[in-house]
Chains A and B, each alone.
Chain A
Amino acid sequence: MVVVAALVAIPVAVIVTSIFDPTTQMWSELWETRLPGMITDTTTLLVTVVAGTVILGTGLAWLVTAYDFPARRLIGWLLVTPLAVPGYVAGFVWLDTLSGPFGPRGARTIWLCAATMILTLYPYVYLFARASFRSQGSDARDAARTLGLGPVRTFFRVAFPLARPALAAGGALVTMEVLTDVGTVRLFNVSTVADGVLRVWFGTGSRDSAAELATTLVVTAVALVAIERGLRRGARYGTRAVTRPMQALPLGLRGRTVVLAGTSGVLALAVGVPVVRLLVWSQEARRNGATATVAGGLWHHLSGTFVIATLATLTCVALGITLALLVRRRGVAGRLISRVSSLGYAMPGPVVAVGAVITLAAFDRSEVLPNGSVLVGSLVGLVFALTVRFLAVGLHGVESGLEQTPANTVASARMLGAGPVRIAWSVEIPAARTAILAATALLMIDLMKELPITLLLRPFGFDTLSVWVWQATSESLWTQAAIPSLAMIVIGMVAVGALLTALERGAELTS
């Protein structure tokens, strides 16, 4: 398992080490031409989307935890469902929808691109913020209110600062998504660095130049996360003892109206509009008989998505558990492997795909496998590449779960004669099980939506829903993309349900 984890780091290393031998000509040419624009676009998009998701995600999380209003539980659940809508699907639906009122020129702006991304990404912040508000309990809020703070100031002076570590975790996920997105930005003519990597790569055929540019992206992502951690160093956030769990305050009629209108407005934009438009388009596709690709119908693509997403999810979780335990047991070496193998999450999908192909092809050339089997283009190859990209999601999920077991519990177990494997098996993993389930659900959602790696590396005969969507949208055939898009949203909703069930159970266990 440890060996496999180290293998996962290779494709990332293949790309990242390119920086030690820079192609200076590419950099000077880029600097004179597109690079300044790419940096501006990336920064603008990143700042806008992170700010937008943090405001929206925390605000909504505060409303559903601190206040009581009709259908509060249902709305609290529904607010996570935009996770089920792939960014590129929301992108093409909104591009088409906005082209009406704004015109095709007015719709293709960085601001509308950012708005689309905020609507699909805010649940990451929402989930973390909600968990944090719940664990804060009512004490701090009630104290602030007793001291005369109004609801708005209570939120900004008390709840928001206390939730900062959770917001950082959500914000980090959003940062990765924005920095690595290559589907949504291109729809809106937004020219980010990730898009630039593909431009350089496929425009000049220079893998080295593209790898160097991709590396700057990874370094930026790592630096941003490190800076945020540094800024928080020394601060303490725990309210030492939570005497009372968060009690939702009842709202007056006006409050209830505002909250219901606000939350349902967000839901209508994030899920309602895409689903309704996709339903209309899918009816049209059905009338035109465009309900299948030649590879097969809905079932064929659905099973492809299911098989690939499940295999990759289980691999990421199993590896995540191994690595997380390794980090706990062998400090530095474990941490190094775990950090390097998480870097794939900071790389655009196509870059990971090609890093993985280089690695797998080198392996194939060494002819280790019997009777001429090759990994490139096999299911293993695909699952490997997907693991490189998404291992971080599993790893961090498991790590947060393992923290449930205090170090002295492990020490006691050891004194009682239990070996490390036994401790992991019967103490640490059971304690982390809800966190592991949550990570599993999150991975299912991510992997079901994944497009560039699956497209490039899938074995013959394996077609997924996302590939179907790509085949239709690359020719601007929105109606034909509707059925697979809806199917993805439905699967995503099921996974969101599983995620929330896991989180609820986790909350009960800890309280």
Chain B
Amino acid sequence: MKAEENHGNTKKFGMVIDLDVCTGCGSCMVACMAENNVPFRKDESDKLKSITWMRVYKLSNGKPYPETDICYLPRPCQHCEGHDGHSPCVSVCPATATDYDMQTGIVSQIYTRCFGCRYCMAACPYHARYFNWYDPVWPDGMEQYLNPDVSVRMRGVVEKCSFCIQRYQAAKDRAFMEGKTDIEESDYQTACTQACPAGAITFGDLNNPAHAVYKLKKQPNAFRLLERLGTNPKIYYLSSREWVRRAGDNYLKNEGPAKIG
């Protein structure tokens, strides 16, 4: 628990995703692609080459009918804090292209600084990082639809979910104009959170007791992916089904799901 709280008074943005509510529709993935100018190719079937900052995985309990059960698991960047901000990818980056910000808890990726060694991709246990194997090619006229607040990436650099940092910047700017010093919970919400028709994703400041995520992450059904690795991620998942909670890590038969913290 101590590692969780070491941000002090600063913000620590995070997400709680309710897997019992998620229908696997993929709206979050579409919203993310559109918001963040994520490039796509004609043939997206090769998942080693396609880029999806937000990716919905399908889990199955592997049992035959009638016990068969499936669960959809949306996976954005987990924005690991590790210990004192030493998340797996930040620790290995030789170019200082990726960084952990103690003010927001967001793992940043600076595309112009990245030279594409892909150490971070090897280090990331969540496969949340993607490499641009090609320069983006937009269909005719689609340049007009690109989000001007997100820079388009070039071939040879790594990219990943940024928690829609441009929306945080915009929220801060609005607050400055209104003479406020801080932003409200509703001022800054990621594209995937807003796009989810089932309301499975909740986004906010994990350090702020007034935010919904603060209470949700403390629910007994909450778990994080690969808890025992010590990556200290900021994406919490909720599920009432035990096999789903067990799927969050490689547990042995005699082990129960690990406690958060």
Tell me if chain B binds chain A.
no
B contact set with A: CB distance below 8 Å: none
